[in-house]
Amino acid sequence: QQQVKQSPQSLIVQKGGISIINCAYENTAFDYFPWYQQFPGKGPALLIAIRPDVSEKKEGRFTISFNKSAKQFSLHIMDSQPGDSATYFCAASPNAGNNRKLIWGLGTSLAVNP
Amino acid sequence: SQTIHQWPATLVQPVGSPLSLECTVEGTSNPNLYWYRQAAGRGLQLLFYSVGIGQISSEVPQNLSASRPQDRQFILSSKKLLLSDSGFYLCAWSVGSNTEAFFGQGTRLTVV
C-alpha cells in the first residue's frame, strides 16, 4: 500500500514554464514533507521541505504548497530550466522519536525542453 | 562538515557470488543509517535502517543483510546474489529529530 501517492509519473515542460508535481498522503501523523531532486546516477538531494504549520514555503524558484485538510502537498517550479530536468521525489515522515523513516512517493521524471 | 562515502560506484557480479557494499559517514556521531535500493525508473525502497551499533531493522524480506560494526559504518551484504538483486543501492544518514536524509552517490550493481 502506497502511503504517499505522487503524480504525474513523468512531466514535460517548456523552458520558462511552470512544473507542478503533486503528492497525497494518508497518515495524519506525518509532520514533515520534503522534496528531493535526483539527477541520473546520483543520490537524491533535499530540495525543499515543509511542516504542516504553514501552507506554503518558497525558496527561489521552488515552492511547496501544503493543504492539511486535503492531505495534499505539491511542488511548483517556476520559470523551469533545462537544468531542472531530473527525477523529483516527495516524501513524508511521522513524528516518531529520533528514528525518522521517510515514506517516499514513486517519483516524477521531469524533462524541461529548451 | 559531514560527508558520506559509499563504494564502489559500479559493480558487476555473477549470480551466486557474494556481495559487500560499504558506507561510512564522517563528521557526525550516532547517525541513523539507511540502505535503499532503486530499480531502474522506480522509486526508493528502504531495505534496512539502523539507529545504533548492532541495531538493524529490516524493511523487506530479501536475499540481503546489513550490519553496523561501528557507529559510522554500515555494510550491505549477500551470501549469494540473484539476478533480481540488480539495482542502484543508496546509503543515507540522518541525525536525531532532524529528518533531512543525506544520500551517498550510490552503487550501481549489475548481477549477470
Looking at the partner chain, which of A44, A99, A106 has a beta carbon nearest the beta carbon of B103?
A44
- Rounded to whole angstroms, the Cα distance separating B13 from B20 reads 11
Q: Where are the domains of chain A?
A: 4-107
Backbone torsion region of residue A3, taken as left when φ is above 0, otherwise alpha when ψ lies between -120 and 50, otherwise beta: alpha
The residue in chain B having the minimum alpha-carbon distance to the alpha carbon of residue A44 is B103
- Give how far Cα A24 sits from Cα of A87, A106, B22, Å: 18, 12, 34
Q: How many helices (H) and strands (E) does chain B have?
A: 0, 11
Instruction: Copy the grid coordinates of residue A52.
Output: 504542516
Looking at the partner chain, which of B43, B44, B99 has a beta carbon nearest the beta carbon of A100?
B99
Class of domain A4-107: mainly beta
Nearest CA to CA, how far is B24 from chain A (Å)? 15
Q: What percent of chain A has a predicted confidence (pLDDT) above 70? A: 93
Mutate which: A102, A103, A106, A108, vs B, most B CBs within 10 A: A102
Residues 34-73 of A with CB under 8 A from B: 34, 41-46, 49
What contacts A69, CB < 8 A, 6 or more positions away? none
**Residue in this structure with the C-alpha cell 529529530, named with its chain if needed:** B97
Q: Distance of alpha carbon A15 from its chain centroid, rounded?
A: 20
pLDDT band at A99 (very low <50, low <70, confident <90, very high): low
Tens of pLDDT, residue by residue, chain B (112 residues):
778 999 999 999 999 999 999 999 999 889 999 999 998 767 888 999 998 999 999 888 778 999 999 999 999 999 999 999 999 999 999 887 667 889 999 999 999 9
Per-residue pLDDT of A53-69, as tens digits, reads 899 999 999 999 999 99
pLDDT at B98: 60
pLDDT band at A96 (very low <50, low <70, confident <90, very high): low
pLDDT at B59: 84
- Rounded to whole angstroms, the Cα distance separating B102 from A71 reads 26
CATH code for the structural domain at B3-111: 2.60.40.10
Per-residue pLDDT of A14-51, as tens digits, reads 999 999 999 999 988 888 899 999 999 899 999 999 98
pLDDT at A97: 56
